[in-house]
Amino acid sequence: MKIKTQVLKEMLSKAVQGAGNDKMIPITQLIGINVNNNSIMLTTCTGNDYLYVIESLDDADVEGEIDVTPYVEQFAKLISKMTSEYIYLAVKDNGLEVKGNGTYMLELQPDEDGELIIYPDPYHSYISSNKIKFAKDKIKLEDIKLAIESVKPSLANTDELPAIKNYYVGDKLLATDKKKIASYNKQIINSNVLMSLKLVDLLGIMQDDIQYYIADDVMIFKTDNCIIYSSRGDDVEDYPVAVLDKLVTQKFASICKVNKNSFIALLERITLFVGKYDDNAIRLYFEKDGIRVANKSRDSNEVIEYVSSTKYKSYNCVINASMLLDQLRAYRGDIVEIHYNNDKAIKFVDEDLVQIIALMIVS
């Protein structure tokens, strides 16, 4: 078969994001290359999610079928270094011949019976044996981008409570690590499910709004040239939705607004003066005209003026500087709306997106 080098490079830039490259799961180190019916399909696996990237080919560019499984890292690196206009793929002597600037032979792995490995294809197996109907409404690509850019920093990365390593997706979008919360109050899909960090990142490589099908055991996501097949976990009931909703909707006595980029720059300066044993703590003093930010010893400080202030009341708190910066950088707007005067947290609000940061206990 013959394919434009740039087209194959663009396909691989997506496909490699679905490769887990886990030595304990060999299939995650491989890539399926299937050429059939005048199209090419690349398949990779994270371990739980299968990613399919598909492009059409001209009739004249295809001769016969190809179904091979080389190592994804070797194949992707080779193609990335090609500068020829076209690349030619062919199966020869139990290897994959790649022609571009030169000719290269990639080793293909045999199975236990000595036959060449054929990459698993759970998506097509599933749809051939089940009647599926995609939901009427699609997942908006803009909502997935928001999840990645603004909600992701609140995800947990420890196994203390496995459910919160995932996004809660459905009637709203939630993430928490118990010290930070992000809540996007919008219906994303018509089911309530948990989606892993990797799965949502993979959804982010799609270029259009996404069709989806969700059953008891699988989740399928599809656009014209991209498909994700994922096993569905059954631990959605373990997600602390009610607790998080209560925290997100709690009232704060005062509200102010400040310029986001100016606040970030100020914090980056102040953190240079946070002591080694300060647990990354800084102090926020909400004063009449602005927020005074100081290191724990209070010998370095700077004020950022309010853009606006509502129901001002003098207030101060101690907060983790890194968590504060993470949430500020994830905030969508240029002007940050800060809700304060609560003894447990501060809150950022941007229309339907709410971010909560827990305060530190002063010793």
Q: How far apart are CA 165 and CA 167, in angstroms?
A: 7
Please check whether residue 280 is in contact with residue 296, taking contact to mean a CB–CB distance below 8 angstroms: no
pLDDT value of position 363: 59
pLDDT value of position 120: 95
Mean per-residue pLDDT over the chain, rounded? 94
Query: Which contiguous run of DSSP H or E holds residue 249?
Result: helix 241-249
**Residue 302: pLDDT over 70:** yes
Q: Enumerate the β-bridge partners of residue 231.
A: 218
Q: How far apart are CA 127 and CA 138, in angstroms?
A: 19
Q: How far apart are CA 176 and CA 166, in angstroms?
A: 9
| Complete DSSP assignment for 219-233 | EEEEETTEEEEEEPP
Q: How far apart are CA 50 and CA 218, in angstroms?
A: 11
Q: What are the backbone dihedrals phi and psi of residue 218, each rounded to the nearest 5 degrees, phi first? A: -135, 160
**Residue 272: pLDDT over 80:** yes
Closest CA to 45 of 70, 25, 75, 67: 25
Q: How far apart are CA 27 and CA 17, in angstroms?
A: 14
Cβ neighbours around 336 below 10 Å, total: 23
Q: How far apart are CA 299 and CA 336, in angstroms?
A: 26
Summarised one tens digit per residue, pLDDT across range 46-60 is: 999 999 999 999 887
Arithmetic mean of pLDDT, 129-143: 94
Summarised one tens digit per residue, pLDDT across range 204-252 is: 999 999 999 999 899 999 999 999 999 997 788 899 999 999 999 999 9
Summarised one tens digit per residue, pLDDT across range 177-198 is: 999 999 999 999 999 999 999 9
Please check whether residue 31 is in contact with residue 96, taking contact to mean a CB–CB distance below 8 angstroms: no
Q: How far is CA 23 from CA 29, 52, 71, 168, in A?
A: 7, 21, 12, 29
Residues of the chain above pLDDT 90, percent: 85
Backbone torsion region of residue 115, taken as left when φ is above 0, otherwise alpha when ψ lies between -120 and 50, otherwise beta: beta
Q: How far apart are CA 136 and CA 88, in angstroms?
A: 40
Q: How far apart are CA 35 and CA 64, in angstroms?
A: 8
pLDDT value of position 93: 82
Q: How far apart are CA 11 and CA 322, in angstroms?
A: 36
Q: pLDDT tier at 116 (50, 70, 90 boundaries)?
A: confident
**Residue 63: pLDDT over 90:** no
pLDDT value of position 61: 81
Residue 100 is which amino acid?
Answer: G
Q: How far apart are CA 354 and CA 249, in angstroms?
A: 9
Residues of the chain above pLDDT 70, percent: 99
pLDDT value of position 287: 96
